[in-house]
Structure 1
Amino acid sequence: MPEMNPFSVDIMKFFKRKHFGKCSTDKDLVVSEFDTDLRQYRIKVDENLAEQLLKKFDNATLKCTYQVIGRKKKSSFPDKDFSLSNAEHLSQSFLVPKTIDFIFTECHAVREKTELKLLQKDAFLFVQNRLKHRQKDPPSDVESKPNVIILGIDSTSRMNLRRSMPKVHKFLQKPGWFEMQGYNEVGKNTLPNLLALLTGNAEKKAQLNGQFRRSGFIDKLKYIWQLFKQNGYMTAFGEDCGKINTFNNHNSGFEKQPVDYYLRNFIVALETIFKTRRQFGNVFCLGRKLSFKYLFDFAKQFMQRFQNAAPVFGIFWSNSFTHGDFLGATALDQVFLEYLLLYDKLGFFDRSIVMVLSDHGYRYGVTRQRSKSGYLEERLPIMFIHVPPWFRKRYPQHVENLKINQNRLSSSFDLHLTLHHLLQLNATSMADFSPKLQSSQCKSCQSLFFQLPYDRNCFQAGIGEKWCSCEPTETETNQVLIRKVAREVVRHMNEHLRSRNLTKLCNNYTLKKVLYMDSKLAPNDDSLENDQLHTYIVTFDTNPTSAHFEATVQWNTEKETLTMNVDELSRLESYEKYSKCTRDPIVKKYCICKSFK
């Protein structure tokens, strides 16, 4: 795997630090706090601030109401909907019933029954501890059932973390943190990479067949959080963007709530109710607050509520800063650091296995179009694992293996088995694992607490040729060969449109220009067939619209024939405006709609 320079000239000429504007400069009129004696949340109205705000209105009083946000279970697509109760009076100090998870509040200046002005609206989330028993001390099995917390930052490569989030990177260098520097993506976008992590299967065929768009399909998969639940864990899952949510972007989402605490419907409601602001390519502000803060406050409450009651498994995934702009991470650095420092201060890391990771690097834009290193950057996302002091003392061999594995090839299939390992920490080898737990798409994958082979290849890690970053490349200079291969690629693309009956919907392509073609240097192999087959990475533009593509293909030098999977084409610029005629996320990559003007 080639070493990469995050600060290379071809990237740094496009790099600049960004800042985000505050969502609101208003003081909080309504605040939430947790009553530690009653073990309940309380909502309070700031009477002093209310008095100041009401001075602008003669003889006005304050009227505050709340509405409960919930999941509309009878909806055709419950993940894409929400319920909102009738408005109820919000008293100056309101003790939130334990049956309520989310509320929306409004405060008006009123004179008699006339509403003069909306002063402020807000939303609050509550992770309610509904366990029937309460423990004052941590569970006795804290070391056999550690908390498992996954903090995800979308589209963030190892390189961009160092460039854009130096403060976070410095925090992740602390004792107990291990960086899997050879962690390689297994698929194009968030869904296959997270599925590999959560289910052990990237479901490639199901995605191509459009099964994820069918209601109920997503619910039928076997998720690792179900196994944690069976082992006494409380479970949570949240993302901070409703439109590009992992399981809902062009897909139907879950019919049934998949975990104990689920943020989805709250975020969908807020994106509907509140005025939103976009920055870095996505919804950024939900009313008065960052969507990112709603997500990581949710994570904080989840860990707090069960700190002395039960082990927890939670995955908290952020898209808002980083999905649409590779420079968005520069604005996230301080915000994310503050949450990591807060979690550390509150003691969450003392009993938790924590993973800070991404699904892939940035997939389009200047890093992919203007930089040769962008090919590797896309394929090598961040992956850090934290193990607390007691774990390092009790399982020294696991920790030693983590150290070794930092510089070996790994994938989310391995990470899936690592999660299984956390439920059976006394296992001494993969032979101790039930065959049923083995990743269905990678039979040779294994827990990261066991030593990975030093000469491991991508196939053994469940990584396809398209995504493999292990093989060095050299730039091809034979212009006749380059044009010949590129023309065959475009011909295959047009044939693919015909075979999928897309010619009425999508334009045919013509080759505009080849930017470069790299040859993958194959391992030593004396076979004749291997001498004839060459793997090329071709980057080229097509008409119409100067679409920018990258294809990984095999070329037979003797027969001058080409093999490629058109569905695995990479599109190196945003294609949203060109592909509105189809809902299929695979087809969207390469369809230039005839209806586009």
Structure 2
Amino acid sequence: LGRNVFLLCSIQFLLCKAKLSLHSHYPNVAKTLENKKFYVDSPSCKMPEMDPFSADIMRFFKRRQFRECSSDKDLLISEFDSHLRQYRIKIDENSAQQHLKKFGNATLKCEYQVIGRNKKDSFPDNHFSFSKLQPLSQSFLVPKTIDFISTQCHAVHGNIDLKLLQKDAFLFVQDRLNHEHKNTEHHRPDLQSKPNVIILGIDSTSRMNLRRSMPKVHKFLQRPGWFEMQGYNKVGENTLPNLLAILTGNAEENALFNGRFGHSGFIDKLKFIWQLFKKNGYMTAFGEDCAKINTFNYQKPGFKQQPVDFYLRNFIVALETILKTRREFGNVFCLGRKLGFQYVFDFARQFMQRFENSAPVFGIFWSNSFTHEDFLGATALDHVFLEYLTLYDELGFFNRSIVMVLSDHGYRYGVTRQASKSGYLEERLPLMFIHVPPWFRKIYPQYVENLKINQNRLSSGFDLHMTLHHLLHLNATSMADFSPKLQASQCKMCQSLFFQLPANRNCSHAGIREKWCSCEPTETVTNQRLLRKVAQEVVHHMNRHLRDRNLTTLCQNYALKKVLYLDSKISLSEDSVEDEQLHTYIITFETNPSSAHFEATVQWNSEKETLNMNVDELSRLESYEKHSKCTRDPIIKKYCICKEFK
């Protein structure tokens, strides 16, 4: 017995010594955290608040001017006939007279072509079908079989076309439901058990850039019923894994690494949450602008089968092909006379209006055009997005719907990441707001109270996935009420945001890998010898990785140019006995050729001076499109400087 007591005391002594050693290795932990404010402040997570207007960001900040796509008056107007429940296209006679007066006795001739999805195409997401030109009469009643059309109006004299006056395009969310026994004038009786669920996404927008660039939108999102998830942390690098976490419960990064997204039909096999909403009687929709960089199509074949009831993809592909486009902020901005953004958010408006009294709706509406390539593009979006939010509010959508306004991540490259340390956190902390209507707040006060608490708890897209499941099972009282089959496959500990998240949650509990975790404070390393040694080992690992993956004939070797930052992550866990010699570093550096900027999260053994890192997890801090045209692999593209590049 005495020997056992001695042994237990010895073990306890060693544990205490190890913990003291750990904290003596970080003597400034208390000082580092002193006088700081945090979005999440728990023993397991210290997510620091950031100043949106800090000097390191504001030296690059300026407001961009918004330029309309067209100033001419519409020749054609689309209206919905509520009695017939069909759309009409009307010719605006006043506008027609203004356009024709310079042509003497000319008359107006308008025609249309139907845009559709070619189901027989090998890659139906990437093409479109186009009918023959057909005459468009005054007050043309659009058949319910038509979802999209392009139009053109000419000034004509007899049979001679004098001039093309206007090209345009129209979308129609057609109500094809059987209303024989339904009264479409009154609210659905199942509204409170089947609320509408709408996701409005703005790509590459952090919580901080929302405040900095879109103050009007941010003010709107402060209204009653809106809750900001201030501890919402991304789970993957770009849009695809972060949206998949929300929509499928699995970021599918292994599938991306293994190239399975390049296989035709692979995306169709994933278990998207919209399939469950469809089974529960919901109408479903998905729309996204900027066809070439769409989430499920960029360097991927996309969906073979149309994934939802109303799908905007083929329409946007068609418009980018047949209409004159204008680029702004690095992306296709204008599609003919209208913003790509307008087409997506008009699509959302029609979708919510068309079924407001007849069926519940689940829709995702995503925009890349203003924000994907330029973090200043959001400054031009502010009033445009506010107009749509205000319109949706006036139409009563927010009284009937759970609405999420969110992003996939913050800005991933450019000046905010190359020259600003706060850009590291901005990238990881996207905007995330949830709105619940007054009736929901009245019926489910505990869910609302939990949302308030969860605003300052660590959360992720996997939690949002479970929240969507919860909206299909509103009577659930705890996560135990959910079938194990419904749990997010990549995060079994994740849960609905309508239930209180654990206060002591860490990144692994939320399905967030070390690379993306924003919970651990950092200290800047000033030891120049250590800084140089770690950087050289990182570059050595990168060059060895090129050899191991047989990429040396394709990609150039790297040479270290300079180190920008080396920060040490500080472990918060009192229970972990970290090896005193093992440290996690975040290193930001430049290499030649091409002055490529990289960021890596690595483990460094200071005693052995050895390094462990995953080169495929490198972050590239500037646009690499022109450097990596020799490969289509999305992971290799991040770090390959093609030999053909001069």
Q: TM-score range by the shorter chain?
A: over 0.9
- Counterpart of 1:547 in structure 2: which amino acid? A
Distance in 2 (CA, whole Å) between partners of 1:290 and 1:15 is: 24
- Counterpart of 2:109 in structure 1: which amino acid? K
CA distance change for structure 1 residues 525 and 52 in 2, over 3 Å: closer, same or farther?
Answer: closer
Distance in 1 (CA, whole Å) between partners of 2:241 and 2:84 is: 43
Partner residue of 1:15? 61
CA distance change for structure 1 residues 567 and 433 in 2, over 3 Å: closer, same or farther?
Answer: same
Distance in 2 (CA, whole Å) between partners of 1:275 and 1:361 is: 30
Equivalent runs, 1:137-176 vs 2, <5 Å = 137-176=186-225
Map Cα deviations across residues 373-411 of structure 1 (whole Å, 9 max, x no partner): 000000000000000111111111100000000000000
Equivalent runs, 1:154-303 vs 2, <5 Å = 154-303=203-352
CA distance change for structure 1 residues 528 and 165 in 2, over 3 Å: closer, same or farther?
Answer: closer
Partner residue of 2:11? none
Partner residue of 1:100? 146
Runs of at least 5 residues in structure 2 that lack an aligned partner in the other structure: 1-46
Deviation at 1:526, TM superposition (A): 7.7
Distance in 2 (CA, whole Å) between partners of 1:579 and 1:142 is: 50
Equivalent runs, 1:22-61 vs 2, <5 Å = 22-61=68-107
Distance in 2 (CA, whole Å) between partners of 1:417 and 1:568 is: 27
Deviation at 1:455, TM superposition (A): 1.4
Deviation at 1:241, TM superposition (A): 1.1
Distance in 1 (CA, whole Å) between partners of 2:382 and 2:354 is: 27
CA distance change for structure 1 residues 326 and 491 in 2, over 3 Å: closer, same or farther?
Answer: same
Find out whether 1:450 has 2:499 as its counterpart. yes
Deviation at 1:58, TM superposition (A): 3.8
CA distance change for structure 1 residues 100 and 361 in 2, over 3 Å: closer, same or farther?
Answer: same
Partner residue of 2:383? 334
Partner residue of 2:434? 385
Find out whether 1:315 has 2:357 as its counterpart. no
Find out whether 1:578 has 2:644 as its counterpart. no
Map Cα deviations across residues 548-577 of structure 1 (whole Å, 9 max, x no partner): 000000111222211111111110011111
Find out whether 1:539 has 2:588 as its counterpart. yes
- Counterpart among 112, 115, 135 of residue 183 in structure 2: 135
Matched length:
597
Deviation at 1:57, TM superposition (A): 2.2
CA distance change for structure 1 residues 553 and 44 in 2, over 3 Å: closer, same or farther?
Answer: same
Distance in 1 (CA, whole Å) between partners of 2:280 and 2:408 is: 27
Q: Equivalent residue of 1:385, what SS?
A: strand
Map Cα deviations across residues 234-283 of structure 1 (whole Å, 9 max, x no partner): 00000011011000011110001000000000000000001111111111
Q: Equivalent residue of 1:122, what SS?
A: strand
CA distance change for structure 1 residues 42 and 373 in 2, over 3 Å: closer, same or farther?
Answer: same
Partner residue of 2:52? 6
Equivalent runs, 1:82-121 vs 2, <5 Å = 82-121=128-167
- Counterpart of 1:334 in structure 2: which amino acid? H
- Counterpart among 347, 362, 368 of residue 396 in structure 2: 347
Deviation at 1:19, TM superposition (A): 1.5
Distance in 2 (CA, whole Å) between partners of 1:524 and 1:219 is: 41
Map Cα deviations across residues 5-61 of structure 1 (whole Å, 9 max, x no partner): 000011111111112211011100111011122111000112232223222224322
Partner residue of 1:375? 424
Comparing 309-318 and 129-138, the one that deviates more: 129-138
Distance in 2 (CA, whole Å) between partners of 1:544 and 1:417 is: 45
Deviation at 1:201, TM superposition (A): 0.1
Distance in 2 (CA, whole Å) between partners of 1:527 and 1:471 is: 14
Map Cα deviations across residues 444-494 of structure 1 (whole Å, 9 max, x no partner): 100000100111100000000000000000000111111111111111111
Map Cα deviations across residues 293-338 of structure 1 (whole Å, 9 max, x no partner): 0000000000000000000000000100011100000000001011
Equivalent runs, 1:480-495 vs 2, <5 Å = 480-495=529-544
Deviation at 1:426, TM superposition (A): 0.8
- Counterpart among 555, 559, 564 of residue 604 in structure 2: 555
Find out whether 1:422 has 2:468 as its counterpart. no
Q: Equivalent residue of 1:107, what SS?
A: strand
Q: Equivalent residue of 1:431, what SS?
A: helix
Q: Equivalent residue of 2:210, what SS?
A: helix
Deviation at 1:528, TM superposition (A): 6.3
Distance in 2 (CA, whole Å) between partners of 1:55 and 1:527 is: 81
- Counterpart of 1:219 in structure 2: which amino acid? D
Find out whether 1:64 has 2:110 as its counterpart. yes
- Counterpart of 1:118 in structure 2: which amino acid? L
- Counterpart of 1:33 in structure 2: which amino acid? E
- TM-score (ref. length: structure 2): 0.91
- Counterpart of 2:183 in structure 1: which amino acid? Q
Distance in 2 (CA, whole Å) between partners of 1:91 and 1:132 is: 28
CA distance change for structure 1 residues 334 and 528 in 2, over 3 Å: closer, same or farther?
Answer: closer
Deviation at 1:525, TM superposition (A): 5.2
Distance in 2 (CA, whole Å) between partners of 1:388 and 1:51 is: 46
Distance in 1 (CA, whole Å) between partners of 2:249 and 2:518 is: 21
Distance in 1 (CA, whole Å) between partners of 2:609 and 2:422 is: 29
Comparing 228-237 and 580-589, the one that deviates more: 580-589
Distance in 1 (CA, whole Å) between partners of 2:319 and 2:641 is: 33
Distance in 1 (CA, whole Å) between partners of 2:577 and 2:309 is: 57
Distance in 1 (CA, whole Å) between partners of 2:124 and 2:439 is: 42
- Counterpart of 1:558 in structure 2: which amino acid? E
Runs of at least 5 residues in structure 1 that lack an aligned partner in the other structure: none
Q: Equivalent residue of 1:201, what SS?
A: coil
State which structure, 1 or 2, has the greater radius of gyration over its C-alpha atoms. Answer: 2
Distance in 1 (CA, whole Å) between partners of 2:198 and 2:114 is: 28
- Counterpart of 1:100 in structure 2: which amino acid? I
Partner residue of 2:36? none
Comparing 351-360 and 46-55, the one that deviates more: 46-55
Partner residue of 1:74? 120
CA distance change for structure 1 residues 402 and 109 in 2, over 3 Å: closer, same or farther?
Answer: same
Map Cα deviations across residues 402-422 of structure 1 (whole Å, 9 max, x no partner): 000000000000000000000
Distance in 1 (CA, whole Å) between partners of 2:549 and 2:354 is: 51
Find out whether 1:462 has 2:511 as its counterpart. yes
CA distance change for structure 1 residues 429 and 524 in 2, over 3 Å: closer, same or farther?
Answer: closer
Distance in 2 (CA, whole Å) between partners of 1:527 and 1:195 is: 32
Comparing 497-506 and 231-240, the one that deviates more: 497-506
Partner residue of 1:441? 490
Deviation at 1:527, TM superposition (A): 6.5
- TM-score (ref. length: structure 1): 0.99
Distance in 2 (CA, whole Å) between partners of 1:286 and 1:492 is: 45
- Counterpart of 1:416 in structure 2: which amino acid? H
Distance in 1 (CA, whole Å) between partners of 2:391 and 2:408 is: 25
CA RMSD of aligned residues (A): 1.0
